Amino acid sequence: MEQGEIAPPSAEEKGKEEDDLGYRLCPDQNKKSQSFLVRSLFTFHNRCQLMLRMTLDMNPYAQLLEAMKQSGCTVFSDQHFSCENCDGCVSGGFDSATSQIVLCQNTCHQSHMNWVVTHELIHAFDHCHAHVDWFKNVKHLACSEV
């Protein structure tokens, strides 16, 4: 290997990355939540919640939540979304294990929030309605991304 080149990850490191399922990008996910007062005063949580509310009120794609309900999916908008601190390289994601849309409160602004919510709602709809196998069928993943 030449000087300045980065060595490829070992099999052990690669296995850890694959088992991680992206949770390293949202390290606050699934941790014990702080009190409402602490989240509101000392983080971007309150701002994220306000941007989410505005998006759900104004964005026509928020109607996907109603379509999910009509398809027999359980939807609670207050539990279906989670504002979390994330790695700077992501804005949000869909957690299929919890059927929850994670919004990165420390990296998102309103116009980007609209896009992220729309994109992740499509994944949530596909997960519920089409029973997508996210980790074993690359065609399912590709179809949802298109």
Q: Which residues are catalytic?
A: 120
pLDDT at 7: 47
C-alpha dihedral (15, 19, 21, 25), degrees to nearest 10: -70
Sign of CA dihedral 48, 54, 58, 63: positive
pLDDT one-digit tens code per residue, 12-63 = 555 554 555 555 656 566 555 656 555 555 567 889 999 999 999 999 988 8
Q: How far apart are CA 101 and CA 94, in angstroms?
A: 5
How many angstroms separate the Cα of 57 from the Cα of each of 27, 65, 105, 141? Answer: 29, 12, 18, 28
| Domains of the chain in sequence order | 33-145 (3.30.2010)
Please state which of the ranges 21-35, 67-81, 131-145 shows the lowest mean pLDDT: 21-35
Q: How far apart are CA 28 and CA 1, in angstroms?
A: 37
The rounded Cα 139 to chain-centroid distance in angstroms is 20
Q: Is the pTM of this model over 0.75?
A: no
